[in-house]
Amino acid sequence: MLKTPSSFKLLFTFAQILETINIQNRMIVKKNLRVLVALALVLMPFTSQATVEQHHDEAHPTDAQAQHHQEADHSGAHDENSHHETSEGAHDGISTQAEINAYTQHHLADSHDFTFFSDEKTGHHYGFPLPVILVDNGIKFFMSSEFHHGEELVEKDGQHYKLYHGKIYKTDAQGTIHYGENHYPTNEQPLDLSITKNVFSIIFISILLFLLFVNLAKGYKKGPIPTGFARVLEPLVIFVRDEIAKPNIGEKKYRKFMGFLLTVFFFIWITNLLGLTPLGINVTGNIAVTVCLALFTFFIVQFSANKDYWKHIFWMPGVPVPMKIVLAPIEVLGMFTKPFSLLIRLFANITAGHTVVMGLIALIYTGKALLGTGGSIGVSLLLTLFINVIELLVAFLQAYIFTMLSSLFIGMAVEEHDHH
Amino acid sequence: MDKLIHDFSYGLFFWVAIIFVILIILMRKFAWKPILEALNAREEGITNALEAAENAKKELAQLNADNERILKEARIERDAMLKEARTLKDKIVADAKEEANEQADTIITNAKQAIEIEKQAALAELKSQVAGISIEIAKKVIKSELASEASQLELVEKSLKEVTLN
């Protein structure tokens, strides 16, 4: 059972290493950068398709798993907490492949409280609750601790809410969950604007970023050369300016986009790095976050685009009229595939990284029978360390790629075509 | 894909969008603007300093070249002056010599003329004296010798023989 996910994980690692090499090559052959990026973009639909499909495959066993749980819930419908009790009763801790998959999925998903670790035996969770904000005939505000990790219903203004698999559903007084044909709950969902774990992390990271860089900015008032930790940040700012923004957007126009590029670069990088810590947050591995970031790039590109850009999309100059007609829909599609590739790449890389690390840590339990306790811990630690070091690189790399491609797209949109 | 769409959290999307917009605005104002301005100012300062150093180097080289040139010019001028002085000296000496020669010539000519005049005068005087002497002799001869015709003639001849004109 371990075989399929791990081979998929290895594939991802391999893909990441390939990407690293590719990027390094790009950095060496700077002149051919545009050609290479164009090529990468052409190939992007295939790779992103593959990525999504792999996820799909990966998701299947867990879907089946969830289905399993849901059916179990169905059969013991009288008992609300049967799901939790069945999973907690049989084993101490997480030891089976199914439980590991479920735990990994749980880690990858957002949650309504910040749990550092939990004792599966007693069902005690160590962490702190976060505020839940629901928009459902007015705003409902309460702490997530009222859900007791999904074990209890919350009743506000006569409406019952149930936390089920990380999502809040409206239920009747018994907390009945109805299932649709694809085994997802069909209960109505209120608009959930809760400060979830990811939102909390994002606020924390934003404050951290703000303090770090305001400190760097203040340092320049004392003297031209920053001191302390600011000295580490300065070369990175210069890197973003000189290696990402200037070559892709151009000396004249880069300044206007520096605010976005620098913010997105450091935001992704710090978020990725914090995702590697035992805090257990997974912000950039959440599709809603990457969709949002990619949409920023999309709108900035569209709103800063000049006449030439639109002309190249709808009426490509220098080609015969039939070709213009054929090219227009392709170019319009290209407008959307560019940010789409951004969001999928970041999401897939970080999700894969987290999955691999989780899987390797789980090796401690799954490999116990084969390697013995010491052996499995040793192997797991070694492999996890190895992947973590790669992930450190990937954390930076993904921030770099996201920013680099964003600036490249902006550069394409604001480019002056004098030769036409 | 189905799972991804199902798991898409609109609340998270909403918060990320809001937080990110606020973050970009705040970072632009309080961090990126002062940082980039400071970096630019510093880089400009460095460029200017390097330029100034380069200029100073060029100026120094220029100065050295100027010094060399001035020295050379001075040397040439000195040589020219020396040469001029030498020619002037030669000319003065030559002029003096010529003048001296001329003066000497004049003096000699004058002397010659004077001598000639004196000589003529002396000759004239001598002639007159000779004539006087001759007359005296003639007187005497005539007085003494004019006794006889023969003796007179003899005397004249004898006197003429004695008196030779120098």
pLDDT digits (tens, 9 = 90+) for A269-278: 999 999 888 8
Q: Does B47 contact chain A (CB < 8 Å)? A: no
From chain B, the residues in CB contact with A205 under 8 A are none
In degrees rounded to 5, what are phi and psi of residue A171? -135, 175
CA distance B46 to chain A (A): 11
- Contact (CB, 8 A) for A177 and A163: no
Contact A217 B45 (CB under 8 A): no
Q: What confidence score (pLDDT) does residue A136 get?
A: 80
Cα gap A332→A314, rounded to integer Å: 8
Mean pLDDT (chain A) is 77
Angle between helix A33-75 and A368-414 (nearest 10)? 130
Residue at token pair 């209120």: A190
- Contact (CB, 8 A) for A394 and A346: no
Q: What confidence score (pLDDT) does residue A135 get?
A: 83
**Tens digit of each residue's pLDDT (9 = 90 or more) over A4-24:** 444 455 555 555 555 555 555
Q: What confidence score (pLDDT) does residue A397 get?
A: 94
- List the single range of A77-81, A136-140, A387-391, B108-112 with lowest mean pLDDT: A77-81
In degrees rounded to 5, what are phi and psi of residue A319? -130, 155
In degrees rounded to 5, what are phi and psi of residue A131? -70, 140
- List the single range of A226-235, B61-70, B82-91 with lowest mean pLDDT: A226-235
Q: Of A185, A293, A286, which is closest to residue B9 (Cα–Cα)?
A: A286
Residue of A nearest to B31 (CA): A214
In a domain, B39, yes or no: yes
Q: Does B119 contact chain A (CB < 8 Å)? A: no
Q: What confidence score (pLDDT) does residue A79 get?
A: 37
Q: What confidence score (pLDDT) does residue A404 get?
A: 94
Count the domains in chain B.
1
- Contact (CB, 8 A) for A120 and A88: yes
Dihedral of the alpha carbons of B132, B134, B140, B144, in degrees to the nearest 10: -160
In a domain, B15, yes or no: yes
- List the single range of A7-11, A342-346, B18-22, B148-152 with lowest mean pLDDT: A7-11
From chain A, the residues in CB contact with B39 under 8 A are 234, 237-238, 241
**Tens digit of each residue's pLDDT (9 = 90 or more) over A109-127:** 888 888 887 777 777 778 8
Q: Of A299, A233, A238, A300, which is closest to residue A270 (Cα–Cα)?
A: A233
What is the per-residue DSSP string for A235-296? HHHHHIIIIIIHHHH-TTTGGGGHHHHHHHHHHHHHHHHHHHSTT---STTSHHHHHHHHHH
Cα gap A325→B6, rounded to integer Å: 37
Q: CB under 8 Å to A280, separation ≥6 — which residues? A: A107, A115, A116
Confidence of residue A70 (pLDDT cuts 50, 70, 90): very low
In a domain, B130, yes or no: no
A337 or A126, greater pLDDT: A337
A187 or A196, greater pLDDT: A196
Cα gap A9→A3, rounded to integer Å: 10
- List the single range of A211-215, A362-366, A406-410, B67-71 with lowest mean pLDDT: A362-366
Average pLDDT over residues B79-108: 94
Residue B48 has pLDDT above 90, yes or no: yes
Which of A52, A198, A260 lies nearest to residue B1, judging by beta carbons? Answer: A52
**Tens digit of each residue's pLDDT (9 = 90 or more) over A369-411:** 788 888 888 888 999 999 999 999 999 999 999 999 999 999 9
Confidence of residue A89 (pLDDT cuts 50, 70, 90): very low
Average pLDDT over residues B43-67: 95
In terms of residue numbers, what domain contains B96? 11-121
SS (H, E, C) A35-94: HHHHHHHHHHHHHHHHHHHHHHHHHHHHHHHHHHHHHHHHHCCCCCCHHHHHHHHHCCCC
Q: Does B127 contact chain A (CB < 8 Å)? A: no
The DSSP code for A179 is B
B23 or B5, greater pLDDT: B23
**Tens digit of each residue's pLDDT (9 = 90 or more) over A239-258:** 999 999 999 998 888 888 99
Which of A56, A255, A263 lies nearest to residue B1, judging by beta carbons? Answer: A56
Q: Where are the domains of chain A?
A: 3-61+199-414, 129-194
In degrees rounded to 5, what are phi and psi of residue A53? -65, -40
User: Is ipTM over 0.95?
Assistant: no
Tokens matching residue B145? 């010798």
Residue at token pair 């990026």: A37
Residue B161 has pLDDT above 80, yes or no: yes
Cα gap B66→A368, rounded to integer Å: 88
Which of A59, A196, A241 lies nearest to residue B11, judging by beta carbons? Answer: A196
A418 or B3, greater pLDDT: B3
Q: Considering just the CA atoms, what is the radius of gyration of chain B in Å?
A: 64
Confidence of residue A171 (pLDDT cuts 50, 70, 90): confident
Confidence of residue A143 (pLDDT cuts 50, 70, 90): confident
- The pTM assigned to this predicted structure is 0.68
Q: What confidence score (pLDDT) does residue A140 get?
A: 82
Which of A59, A199, A241 lies nearest to residue B3, judging by beta carbons? Answer: A59
A119 or A74, greater pLDDT: A119
In a domain, B145, yes or no: no
Q: CB under 8 Å to A349, separation ≥6 — which residues? A: A12, A16, A394, A398
The CA-based angle B47-B48-B53, given to 5 degrees, is 100
Cβ neighbours around A15 below 10 Å, total:
17
